[in-house]
Amino acid sequence: MKKLTRRQFMVLSGKAATGAVIFVACGLPERELIVQSPVELPEDLVRGEDAWFATTWGDMPGGDGLIVRVMEGRAKKVAGNPDFPVNAGKQSVRHDAALQLLYHPDRISRPLMRRSKGGALNPISWAEAEIEMINALEAAGGVTVVTNPLRGHLGLVAEQFAALYGGRHIAFDAVEQGVLHGAVDRVFGQSSLPDLDIGEAQAVLSFGADWLSTWVSPVSLSVKYGQFRGQGHRGYLVHVEPRMSMTAAAADLWIAPRPGTEGEVALSIAKEIIDHGWASSGDIGAFMENMPDGALDNYGASAVAERSGVPEERLKRAAEKLGTNRPALAFAGGSTGAHANGSFNLSAIYSLNYLLGSVGSKGGIRSNPASPLSGVPSSATGASLEEWENEIAQWRGGNVRTVIVRGADIVHGLPASVEVKGALRAVPKVIAFATVLDDTAAEADLVLPEKSFLETWGSDIPEPGPGYQTVAFQQPVVGPTVNFDEVGLVSDARGFGDVLLWASGDGLGVSSMEDLVRNASGQLFDLGRRSDSINAPDKRLFFNGALQRGGWWDNGATGDDLGGAAPNFMELGKEAKYSSTVPAEEGEEFHLIPFQSNALLDGRLASTPWAQQSPDPMSSAVWETWVEINKRVAEDLGIIEGDVLFIRSVNGEIEALAYPHPGVPPGVVGVPMGQGHSHGGRYAEGRGQNVMSILTDIKDSETGALAWAATKVRVSKSGLRRKVPKFEGTVEAFPTEPGVPVLVVGPDETAHEAEEANHHLHQQSIYGGKE
Amino acid sequence: MASLLEFIKEKHRTTPLWIKALAPVLLLGGLAVFAVTGAVTAFVITAWLGQPIPVLGFDQTVKQPIAFPHTIHAGTGLFPSTGLPGQFIDGLEMDCTFCHRTVTSQANAGVPPVALCSYCHKVIGPEENPELAKLRKAAGLTEEDPSPINWKRVHRLPDHVRFVHEPHIRYLTQHPSEIRNAAPGVNQLSEALPSQVCSTCHGDVASMLEVKQVEALKMGQCVDCHRENEAPTDCTVCHH
Amino acid sequence: MTTEVFGKHKWGMVVDVDRCTGCQACVLACQVENNVPLNTQERYERARGMAWIRVERYWEGEFPDVKARFIPILCQHCENAPCEPVCPVFATYHNPEGMNVQIYNRCVGTRYCANGCPYIVRFFNYWEPVWPESFRNHLNPDVTVRSRGIMEKCSFCMQRIRRGVRNAAKENRELEDGEIQTACQQACPTDALVFGDIDPDNNRTNPGRAYSMINDDRAYTLLPRLNTDPNVIYLAKVDPDREGGAGGH
C-alpha cells in the first residue's frame, strides 16, 4: 500500500513535468512574432503582394523568356513568360529547379583563395581578391577565358575581355552542337540554327535529337509539338534514334538503327520517296543537284535494312508517311551527330528538306535573321574536342598564365583522355566564378562568388529564334540585399560580367552589365521600328517596356532565304567508327549511348535537389546513375533491376544500377549524364557516376567534335544489388485491363468505341470467347 | 479500525526518521504541483477557448521597440506623449490607411516603412523625445546607418489560416448599413471609409496607448460573422 | 455584388493524353507551387515519394514493336469520391465548387481516405517536412506547409483560384475563362492540361476551353466502372496505326 501511494505520486509529478515540457515546446520561433518595418519599401517587398518580373536565363540552351514571382523580396517561382515568342509561357523542370541555385545552402558567399597549389581554399575579402585578380592579369603570359556557350552581352563581354588581354575565349559544352552548326551551315548556308516549324507540319522525321527533353530548345520545340498534335489533321512523327528517349516514346513510329547508320537510313527514305514519285521533279532536282550521278544507288531499302538493322518494312512506312503528308520536315542532332560520320549523317538528313520542299516554307525549315544588335553573339556552341585538346596542350606547355572559368565544369565534362586536372595544375593562376563549388572550381586558385541569373543583368538572343528578330533581357529580380538570416549568408557575390568589366578598366567602354543592357535597349529604340512588343516615345520608357515584357521582338523582321539546293554531302566521311573494347572476359559487349538527363542536363543542375529528385521520364529513376538495358537481354544475362553493373570501356569503368525495360534495343545500353561529381554541394557530391569519364576520344571527321555515341563497352555484374531509387512503385500503377488507364484510339475511333472494344477483349481473355 | 490503528503504529515504527522529517515537505510539494497543474490547465483552456487570463505577463499588450502612440496619430482629443512624460498632444485623426496602405488591396494591411515615418518626423516632434530619437536613428537621420524596426506582432493567426484584408474591407465599406454584427456606429453610415470599419475586429485602436488584441479572432468568431452576413463558409475560403 | 458568390463555378480539368510527352514539368511546377516536401533518395527507396501530379509510364509490347505510354495522374476530384465518406473528422469533403478538398488542420491522419482512393493520389506525411534554412525563402506563402501525420493531395491550386476570384471581385467583373491557371497547366509545354469551369450553365453563352473539350470524341474518365464521376476528363491517346481495336469500323 505504501509503495502504491508513492508510485502514484511519482506518476502524477511525472505527468505534470511532461505537461510543462509540451507547453514550452509550443513556443513559436522568434521570427514569427515580429513584423518588420524595412527602411525603404520598394514594391517587391510589400508584404503579401506578389509581383511577377520578366527575365531570361542565358545559361540554358534555347533562350526561354521567364517570369519570376517575387514576394517580400524573395523569388518564389519561375515560370515561362507568356508574352515571349520562343516558349510562349511554358517551362521545363530545369527552370523550376533553377530557383534552388539562388537559395542553395552551399552557395559560396565570399571569395576563396589557395595560397599554393594543393593547399586549402581559405576565405579572403573582395579587396584582396581584386588585387589577386589584377596581379594575375597583369603578369606576362596568355589569358584564357573558359565559359559555357554564351550568347548575348555576357558572351560579348567575355569575348572582348579576352581580346583586351591578348588571350582567347573558349566555350565548353559537354554535348556541344558544333556538328549541328556545321551541318546547318553546309546545307542551308547559315550557321545559326533555323526555326523548325513543327507546329504547322503534317509529318516530321527527326533523328537522334531528344528535342522534347533536352535538345537545343526543348521548351519551344515542345510547344510546337503540342500544336503539331492539336491540329485538325493530326501530324505524324517518325523518330530515328538508337535509344528510346522521350521523343522516341512520343513518336508514332520509332526506328532504332545501329548507331551511326542514321545518314544511310535517311538516304534510303529519300530513295523510296523519289522512286515512288512522292516528290516533285523540282524538289528532286534541288536535292540531287550537287550530287554525283547514282549517288543513291547504294541506298535501296533492303540494303540499308541490312546495314542498319532496321526492318525494311519500317523504312518503307517512314518514307510513305513523309512522302504522302505535306508539309513535312526532317531534322537531326544529338547522338546522330556524335559519331565519326556525324557531319555526314546530319548533312544528309537536313538535305532531305530540299526533297520534301520544306526549305523556307510554312511547316518546314525557316531561317532566323541576324541579330538586331550588331556584334552581340547570337549563336554559340562549345569548342570541339580537337580545339580543347589543342588548348589544353597550351596550358600544359606553360603558355597560358591565367585561366578564368565560369559556368563550365570542364573537369567533370571533358573525357578522361584529356586529363584536364593535371593541365589546370600547370596553369599558374586559375580563377573560377561559381555559385556552388563545382569540380572545376575546386581546382582553382581563386574562387569568386558568382551571382545567379536571378540577380544579374544580361541579355540573350534565343537560338533557334522564333523566325524573327528577338532579344531577351535578363534583369535582377531579387536584390543583393536579400538576407539569408539564420544561415548568415548575406550574398557578397558579384556577377561575372561586372567583374570582367571592372577588371578591364575603361577598356570595354562601359562599367557595368546594366549599362550594356541599357545601351542595347537604346540601340533597339534607335532602330525606330514599330514592333508588336514595345512601342514607346522615348528611350527611358522603351527600356521600361523591354524589362516589363522581358525583351524585344519584331515579327516583321524575318530571315533571309535559305540556300537553293542541297550540297554534295557524299564527299564527307561516311563511315561510322566505334571504339575497341576491353577483353571479352570482362563482360558482354554493348554499344554505349550516353544521354543528357532530363533534369540535370550534362550535370549543370546536379547541385539542386529539385532537379535530382525529378523522375527520369522513361525509368522514373532519381538521385543515381542507372543503366538502361533491354529486358529480354537482361533476363538472358541473369540481370535484374538494381544489380550493380560494371560498365567498362578501354578508357575506364563506372558502376551503375541496372534498369531493364523493353524499350531498349538489344545491343545498346543507355546511361544518363549529369552525376558523379566530386564537388557540387551536399546534393551532388559523391552521387552516382560520371559516364563522360569512360568515353573514348573518337571525333567527328569534319569538325573534330567528340563522338560521344561511338564508345563500345562491356557490361558485367558486380554481384552487388541495391534498390533503384525511382518513383515507379510508389503508387501501384498497372494496367487493369486493356485501355486502362491509357486509352488508345485509332484514327476516327471514339473513346467510347475503343473502351467497348477493349472491354470485349478483356472479357474474352477471361471467359475464353464466351460472354 | 483496530487494524488500521495497528497499521499506522507499525508504519510509525518502521518508517525511518529522515522520511518522517521530509513528510511536510513532500505534502507541500504535492500541493504545489497540483496548484501549478491546475493553473496551467486553466491557462491552456482559456487560451484555447478565448484569450488568456491577463496575469503573469500574459496580457495581450506588448512592449514595442519604439513606444508608438496610435492615440496621438489616429485619435481625437488630448493624449499623453509616450516619450516625454507630462506632455499632452492633440490627436491628429490620421486615416488608418495612411500608414496601413495595402489594407484595401492586399492580404496584409501593411506596416509602413521607416521612410514613411521619417517623412513627417524629419521635422515634426521635439529632438529631446527619446522615442523619436530611436525612430530617427532607424531612419538614418543621425550619423548611424539606417536599420529596420522589428515591431512585435500583436495579431497573429495560425499558419493554416489565410486571412485576406481586402475583401473584408470591400464588403464592410460598400454597404455599411446592411452589415450584421458590425462595430458600433457603422450601421448608421451610408458609405464607410476603410478606417471606419477596422474597429470591427481590431477595436478602437485610436484610443489605445499600447495596442492589444480585443477580439478572440478564433475560427468560431470568423464563422459566426460569415454566417450572419451570408459570406462563404466553405473551409477552402480560409484553409488551403 | 459585394460578396463573392461561392459555389458559382464547377472546376475541372481536361488532360489530353495524346499531347503528353512525359517531361515532368507539371510535376515539379506543382511541387514548387504547393510546398510539397523534397523527395529524398530515402523517401523514394521506401516508396514514399510524394507527387500531387505524377506522370505514369506504361510499356506496351516488346522491342521493336514497343510503345511507352505516358499519362499524368492527379486527384480526380470525384463527384462520388470514395475518400470522402470514410473520413471520421470531415477533413476531406466535397465543396460546392466541385472539388474534393483536404483540410489540413482537421486531418488526424487515419489514412482511411488514402486506402479508399482507387487512383492513389493521396499522400501521407510520414515525416516532418524539412528544408535547409535557406530553401525556406522559396516556400510559397499562400500554401500551408503540412506537418507530419497529415494527408495531402492536389488542391487544383486552390490558392490561385481564391486569388483569381478575389481579383475579379475586387475589379467588379466576371472571371474570364483561362484567367486562373493551375501550376501544372502553366508549366505544360505541350498544352496537355486545361483547367477551367466545366459547369454547363456557366458555359452557355461563351463556352470556355475546358468545357468545349469535355464532350470530345476522345473524352474518357479513369476507372469509369467505379462510378466515381471524376471532374478530371482525359482525351485518349491517338495511335494512327492502331488496327483491329475499333468496334464500329
**pLDDT tens digit string along A112-124?**
999 888 888 998 8
Q: Characterise B59 by phi-psi region: left (phi > 0), alpha (psi -120 to 50), beta (else).
A: beta
Q: Note the pLDDT of residue B1.
A: 64
Say what the alpha-carbon torsion angle C231, C232, C233, C236 is, to the nearest 10 degrees. Answer: -160
- Tell me if B153 is assigned to some domain: no
Give mean pLDDT, residues B206-233: 87
DSSP H helices in chain B: 2-14, 17-49, 70-74, 96-99, 114-121, 130-138, 165-174, 194-197, 199-202, 219-228
| A768 has pLDDT over 80 | no
Give mean pLDDT, residues A264-279: 93
- Tell me if A639 is assigned to some domain: yes
B26 falls in which pLDDT band (50, 70, 90)?
confident
- Tell me if B149 is assigned to some domain: no
Residue B152, C-alpha cell as written in the block: 512585435
ipTM for the assembly: 0.93
Quick: pLDDT tens for A89-140: 999 999 999 999 988 888 888 899 998 888 889 988 888 999 989 988 887 6
Return the residue in C115, C135, C154 with the most chain A beta carbons within 10 A, the one to mutate for interface testing. C135
Closest CA to C225 of B196, A758, A270, A630: A758
Say what the alpha-carbon torsion angle A390, A394, A397, A403 is, to the nearest 10 degrees. Answer: -140
Structurally, chain B folds into a number of domains equal to: 3
Distance set, CA A228 to CA A143, A288, B217, C14 (Å) = 48, 29, 54, 18
d(CA C5, CA B230): 10
Q: Note the pLDDT of residue A28.
A: 54
Among A405-414, A713-722, B110-119, the minimum mean pLDDT is found in B110-119
> Is residue A611 domain-shared with residue A682, that is, in the same domain?
yes
Q: Note the pLDDT of residue A370.
A: 87
d(CA C98, CA C7): 8
Distance set, CA C211 to CA A263, C192, C201, C206 (Å) = 46, 15, 11, 10
* Closest Cβ–Cβ partner in B159, B164, B239 for C166: B164
Q: Note the pLDDT of residue A192.
A: 86
> Is residue A126 domain-shared with residue A208, that is, in the same domain?
no
Structurally, chain A folds into a number of domains equal to: 4
Closest CA to C78 of C233, C237, C202: C233
Helix (H, G, I), strand (E, B) or coil at A303: helix
Quick: pLDDT tens for A529-543: 877 788 888 899 999
- Tell me if B29 is assigned to some domain: yes
Main-chain dihedrals φ then ψ at residue C15, nearest 5 degrees: -115, 115
Return the residue in C28, C124, C139 with the most chain A beta carbons within 10 A, the one to mutate for interface testing. C28
d(CA B232, CA B220): 14
- Tell me if A765 is assigned to some domain: yes
d(CA C158, CA C99): 10
Q: What is the DSSP letter of C224?
A: G
d(CA B113, CA A216): 46
Residue A337, domain CATH:
3.40.228.10
| A153 has pLDDT over 70 | yes
d(CA C238, CA C221): 16
* Closest Cβ–Cβ partner in B11, B105, B139 for A39: B139
- Any idea which architecture C11-235 has in CATH? 2-Layer Sandwich (3.30)
DSSP H helices in C75-221: 112-116, 158-170, 183-187, 209-213
Q: Note the pLDDT of residue B49.
A: 66
Q: Which residue of A has its CA nearest to B116?
A: A40
CB-based contact A327:A321 (threshold 8 Å): no
* Closest Cβ–Cβ partner in A13, A32, A49 for B102: A49
Helix (H, G, I), strand (E, B) or coil at A240: strand
**CB contact set of B216 (below 8 Å; sequence gap of 6+):** B50, B51
d(CA A415, CA A710): 13
> Is residue A387 domain-shared with residue A444, that is, in the same domain?
yes
**CB contact set of B2 (below 8 Å; sequence gap of 6+):** none
- Tell me if A51 is assigned to some domain: no
Q: What is the DSSP letter of A541?
A: H
| A19 has pLDDT over 70 | no
Per-chain mean pLDDT for chain A: 87
Say what the alpha-carbon torsion angle A116, A117, A118, A122 is, to the nearest 10 degrees. Answer: 50
Overall size of chain A counted in residues: 771
> Is residue A425 domain-shared with residue A303, that is, in the same domain?
no
Mark which residues 116-155 of C lie under 8 Å from A by CB: 120, 132-135, 137-141
Q: Is residue C159 less than 8 Å (CB to CB) from chain B?
A: yes
- Tell me if B158 is assigned to some domain: no
Quick: pLDDT tens for B59-101: 666 788 888 989 999 888 888 888 888 888 888 889 998 988 8
> Is residue A434 domain-shared with residue A394, that is, in the same domain?
yes
Q: Is residue C95 less than 8 Å (CB to CB) from chain B?
A: yes
Domain that holds residue A339: 195-366
> Is residue A538 domain-shared with residue A477, that is, in the same domain?
yes
CA angle A348, A349, A351 (to 5 degrees): 65
User: What percent of chain A shows pLDDT beyond 90?
Assistant: 57
Q: Is residue C8 less than 8 Å (CB to CB) from chain B?
A: no
d(CA A148, CA A381): 8
Distance set, CA B145 to CA A6, B141, B203 (Å) = 63, 8, 36
Q: Which residue of A has its CA nearest to C17?
A: A742
Question: Taking the CB of residue B213, how many other CB atoms lie within 10 A of it?
Answer: 16
- Tell me if B160 is assigned to some domain: no
> Is residue A550 domain-shared with residue A447, that is, in the same domain?
yes
Give mean pLDDT, residues A695-705: 91
Domain that holds residue B7: 2-49
- Tell me if A72 is assigned to some domain: no
Show which subunits contact A, needing at least 3 CB pairs below 8 angstroms: B, C
> Is residue A362 domain-shared with residue A390, that is, in the same domain?
no
Q: Note the pLDDT of residue A677.
A: 93
**How big is chain A by its Cα radius of gyration, in Å?**
29
> Is residue A354 domain-shared with residue A381, that is, in the same domain?
no
Q: Note the pLDDT of residue A46.
A: 64
Residue A105, C-alpha cell as written in the block: 545552402
d(CA B94, CA B206): 9
What residues of chain B have any CB closer than 8 angstroms to a CB in chain A? 11, 26, 30, 33, 36-37, 40, 44, 102, 105-108, 110-117, 138-140, 146-153, 156
A445 falls in which pLDDT band (50, 70, 90)?
very high
The residue ranges of every structural domain in chain C are 11-235
> Is residue B86 domain-shared with residue B133, that is, in the same domain?
yes
Distance set, CA C225 to CA B15, C60, C221, C228 (Å) = 77, 23, 10, 8
> Is residue B42 domain-shared with residue B90, that is, in the same domain?
no
> Is residue B172 domain-shared with residue B222, that is, in the same domain?
yes
d(CA A273, CA C16): 33
Q: Note the pLDDT of residue A484.
A: 44
**CB contact set of C27 (below 8 Å; sequence gap of 6+):** A93, A614, A615, C51, C53, C54, C55, C184
The reported pTM is: 0.89
Residue C239, C-alpha cell as written in the block: 495511335
CA angle A691, A696, A699 (to 5 degrees): 120
Chain C closest-CA separation from residue A313 CA (Å)? 12
Beta-carbon contacts below 8 Å between A and C = 296
Give mean pLDDT, residues A358-382: 89
Quick: pLDDT tens for A291-345: 888 888 889 999 999 999 999 999 999 999 999 998 999 999 999 999 999 999 9
Task: Tell me the pairing of strands C123-124 and C151-152.
Answer: antiparallel
- Tell me if B150 is assigned to some domain: no
Helix A312-324 × helix A262-275 angle, to 10°: 60
Q: Note the pLDDT of residue A191.
A: 82
Low-confidence ranges of chain C (pLDDT < 70): 1-5, 244-249
